[in-house]
């Protein structure tokens, strides 16, 4: 039975949610904040404290934008109405032809009223709202079926979790574009370049890659924006035109295009396109054109659609900044996460007033798709006037002397054997001793989720590495206080604190240690699974993938990565060296030798509604008894744990035939008190 929440607490939570959502709108949509960041943070912390203490979380609470667990895969979503693509026009003559077709289909010669707006170069999405609340978000996909990316879209601050307007539809599908602005794009690529990770070719790829992350924490770490410009299925409200719909979007706190121009007649529409193209350099986002739409929705209905495109809209595409040059060489660059990225060295060429002499080639799949070779003459484009990339090889200019750059077998930095992500495009060096990535590995090793060595963060790792005091994991445990005192930023107390933290980290458990050493694809959950199934670290040495695949929750990709890591003699020597330096690894999670397995072993749970305990506490309870807590209901879900005011997950669970249990019944399942009619 849930505890009663005092009315004054309910009211305070409701007010905090309303206030914080308003300030989100001011900051992320209007770019006109009314309070300081510190004041926002204070209100947010107060709301979080109240939610954790009383277990009352409103559907539109800003705290629900973060913290969802990673998905195993995206579920498919069928669009109620198809999400069509737009026909393209590359000249003003083609725009005039579009106008002629519109008039012919409408059966008249009167000037048509159009709206003209920038074409955002992002990822098309559809947001479904039911009775004012965000129910689901999905990608365009093939136009008829997309992927459910609700968790990730909720992390975008400009996305309303609740419609704030007097006129709230019973249900509405709002179409828009998720994008990354140019400043954030440059910042992200600089960070990736610093870490040696493959660069994103353009802001669209960055936005699409961010939205399609299975782990929402990655999405929220990248600043994304939403712009809304269309509607799909609609019940409970009616709009007369595109301009009226846009007006409603504004009032309901949805972000709309940065520039919207109304024009009557095609000459006015072309003038509007020119205005947007002239303003192109002043936009904070990348735009590759302008969209022209018939304003009147009744006329749109009359014009209808072709197989894949509406007859009432067209996209005018701007000319890209391009140049032609020759690839002098192709080399591989090893990043701080071990990813090896091919890059081209060009004969210098001027593009958009900037000299371009090199460009990332992203990965070997991309090179093969474009058939890029050393010696090729290529067309290079600066996407968004920022990052250069190869658009196309001019094969007519080949002489026969061009040569491909093959997939490397060894790391160009350390000579270790490289591995390729199964089913992926990344090629990696997984050696613990690779100099190109050792700093990143040490930072991860010492992080809070790893061995939690307080005082050994990024700046101090960089300092110690630059001074030659650490070049691999073992060196951490050889550091002396006297060495630290000779460095800037270290005084008597801070040096002693770091030495003490290092000493404490020697006492750890196997799950934390396996996560800390940074095995590819092995997160906290996989590390815990390994600890449950193997008594000691040595049991993993030279392990075969087939043995790992006996653990149901481990897939081929993770098993292959673990086997590869523990088959590397250099890695094994490092692990043994850490033990000789005093590392003691206990394993309280090991359960394989016990007569009975954990009560929730192999079961997947999803939580919905308000439970007697905070959601995180219930998820930890499930995980500690062998189960897996997921955020999305799917065919692989074993049980739905439903509390008060369950959301749409309850209906989905019923549709899929998934059994629903209460919190009390979950406890009974953990205690082994099975009800045959309920659990079997």
3-state helix, strand, coil split of the chain in percent (to 5) is 35, 25, 40
CA 656 to chain centre: 27
Q: Check whether 368 is labelled as a binding-site residue.
A: no
Q: What is the Cα–Cα distance from 609 to 607, expressed in whole angstroms?
A: 7
Q: Is 37 annotated to bind ligand?
A: yes
Give CA separation, 658 vs 77, 192, 571, 653, 678, in Å. 18, 42, 44, 5, 11
317 is in an annotated binding site: yes
Instruction: Give the pair of three-digit tokens for residue 432.
Output: 């613990």
Cα–Cα distance for residue pair 506/348, rounded to 1 Å: 52
The Cα–Cα gap between 287 and 181 comes to 10
Burial track 666-677 (b if 16+ CB lie within 10 A, e otherwise): bebbbeeeeeee
Helix residue ranges per DSSP H, 201-256: 203-211, 216-220, 242-251
Let me know: does 132 contact 64? Beta carbons within 8 Å. no
Q: Is the backbone of residue 522 left (phi > 0), alpha (psi -120 to 50) or beta?
A: beta
Which residue carries 């934008």 as its tokens? 65
Quick one: which H or E segment has residue 381?
A: strand 377-383
For the chain, state the CA radius of gyration.
Answer: 28
Determine if residue 243 is labeled as part of a ligand binding site.
Answer: no
Q: For residues 473 and 147, what is the distance between their CA atoms, to the nearest angstrom?
A: 41
Strand, helix or coil for residue 157 = coil
What does the block give as tokens for 370? Answer: 């474009």
> Distance between CA 405 and CA 343 in Å, rounded?
10
Strands 387-393 vs 377-383: parallel, antiparallel or unpaired: antiparallel
Determine if residue 113 is labeled as part of a ligand binding site.
no
53 neighbors 145 (Cβ within 8 angstroms): no
22 annotated as a binding-site residue = no
Which residues are registered as beta bridge partners of 116?
A: 261, 292
Q: Is 293 marked within a binding site?
A: yes
Asked whether 432 and 463 are in contact (CB, 8 A), the reply is: no
Is 199 marked as a binding-site residue? no
Is 86 flagged in the annotation as binding?
A: yes
Is position 654 annotated as part of the catalytic site?
no
Instruction: State in Å, rounded, how far the first CA of the chain is from the last one.
Output: 25
Catalytic-labelled residue, pool 103, 119, 244, 478: 119
**601 assigned to a ligand binding site:** no
The answer on whether 181 is annotated among ligand-binding residues is no
State the CB neighbour count (10 A cutoff) for residue 328. Answer: 14
In angstroms, the CA 668 to CA 670 distance is 5
What is the SS3 assignment for 247? helix
Annotated binding residue 454: no
The reply, when asked if residue 531 is annotated as ligand binding, is no
**Calpha distance 116→290 (Å, rounded):** 7
C-alpha to C-alpha distance for 256 and 247, rounded to whole angstroms: 9
How far, in Å, CA of 493 to CA of 499, rounded? 10
* C-alpha span between 122 and 507 (Å, rounded): 48
SS3 letters for 391-430? Answer: EEECHHHCCCCCECCCCCCECCCCCCEEEECCCCCCEEEC
Cite the annotated binding site for NAD(+) by residue number.
Answer: 37-41, 85-86, 117, 140, 177, 293, 317
Cite the annotated binding site for Zn(2+) by residue number.
Answer: 411, 414, 429, 434
Cite the annotated binding site by residue number.
Answer: 37-41, 85-86, 117, 140, 177, 293, 317, 411, 414, 429, 434
Write out the catalytic residue numbers: 119
């Amino acid at each position: 039975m849930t505890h009663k929440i005092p009315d004054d607490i309910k009211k305070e939570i409701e007010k905090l949610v309303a206030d914080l959502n308003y300030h989100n709108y001011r900051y992320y949509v209007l770019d006109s904040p009314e309070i300081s960041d510190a004041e926002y943070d204070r209100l947010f912390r107060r709301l979080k404290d109240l939610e954790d203490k009383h277990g009352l979380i409103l559907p539109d609470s800003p705290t629900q934008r973060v913290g969802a667990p990673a998905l195993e895969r995206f579920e498919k979503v069928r669009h109620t109405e198809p999400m069509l693509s737009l026909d393209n026009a590359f000249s003003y003559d083609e725009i005039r032809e579009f106008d002629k077709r519109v008039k012919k289909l409408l059966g008249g010669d009167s000037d048509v009223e159009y709206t003209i707006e920038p074409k955002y170069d992002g990822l098309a999405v559809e947001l479904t709202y039911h009775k004012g609340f965000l129910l689901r978000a999905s990608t365009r996909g093939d136009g008829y079926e997309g992927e459910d990316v609700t968790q990730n879209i909720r992390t975008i601050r400009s996305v309303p979790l609740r419609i704030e307007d007097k006129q709230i539809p019973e249900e509405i599908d709002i179409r828009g574009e998720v994008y990354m602005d140019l400043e954030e794009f440059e910042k992200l690529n600089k960070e990736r370049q610093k870490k040696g990770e493959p660069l994103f070719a353009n802001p669209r790829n960055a936005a699409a890659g961010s939205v399609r992350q299975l782990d929402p924490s990655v999405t929220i770490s990248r600043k994304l924006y939403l712009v809304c410009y269309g509607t799909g299925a609609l019940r409970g409200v009616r709009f007369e035109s595109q301009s009226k719909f846009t007006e409603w979007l504004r009032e309901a706190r949805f972000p709309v295009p940065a520039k919207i121009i109304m024009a009557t007649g095609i000459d006015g529409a072309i003038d509007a396109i020119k205005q947007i193209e002239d303003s192109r350099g002043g936009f904070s986002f990348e735009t590759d054109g302008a969209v022209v739409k018939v304003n009147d929705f009744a006329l749109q209905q009359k014009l209808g659609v072709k197989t894949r495109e509406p007859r009432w809209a067209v996209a005018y595409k701007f000319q890209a900044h391009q140049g032609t040059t020759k690839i002098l060489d192709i080399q591989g660059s090893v990043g701080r996460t071990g990813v090896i990225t091919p890059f081209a060295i060009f004969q210098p060429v001027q593009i958009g007033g900037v000299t371009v002499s090199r460009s990332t080639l992203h990965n070997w799949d991309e090179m093969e798709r474009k058939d890029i070779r050393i010696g090729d003459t290529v067309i290079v484009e600066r996407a968004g006037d920022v990052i250069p990339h190869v658009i196309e090889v001019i094969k007519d200019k080949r002489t026969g002397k061009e040569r491909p750059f093959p997939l490397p077998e060894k790391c160009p930095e350390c000579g270790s054997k490289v591995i390729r992500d199964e089913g992926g495009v990344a090629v990696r060096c997984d050696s613990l001793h690779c100099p190109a990535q050792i700093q990143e590995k040490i930072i991860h090793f010492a992080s809070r989720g790893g061995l939690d060595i307080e005082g050994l963060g990024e700046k101090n790792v960089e300092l110690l590495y630059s001074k030659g005091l650490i070049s691999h994991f073992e060196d951490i445990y050889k550091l002396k206080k006297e060495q630290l005192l000779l460095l800037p930023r270290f005084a008597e107390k801070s040096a002693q604190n770091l030495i003490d933290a290092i000493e404490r980290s020697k006492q750890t458990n196997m799950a934390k240690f396996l996560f800390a050493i940074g095995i590819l694809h092995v997160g906290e959950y996989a590390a815990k699974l390994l600890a449950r199934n193997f008594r000691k670290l040595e049991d993993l040495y030279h392990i075969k993938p087939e043995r790992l695949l006996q653990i149901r929750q481990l897939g081929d990709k993770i098993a292959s990565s673990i086997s590869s890591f523990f088959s590397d003699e250099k890695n094994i020597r490092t692990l043994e060296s850490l033990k000789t330096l005093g590392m003691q690894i206990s394993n309280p999670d090991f359960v394989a030798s016990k007569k009975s397995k954990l009560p929730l072993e192999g079961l997947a749970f999803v939580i919905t509604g308000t439970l007697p305990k905070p959601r995180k506490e219930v998820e930890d309870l499930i995980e500690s008894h062998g189960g897996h807590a997921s955020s999305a209901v799917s065919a692989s879900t074993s049980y739905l744990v439903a509390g008060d005011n369950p959301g749409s997950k309850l209906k989905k669970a019923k549709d899929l035939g998934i059994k629903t249990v209460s919190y009390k019944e979950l406890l009974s399942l953990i205690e082994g008190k099975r009800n045959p009619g309920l659990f079997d």
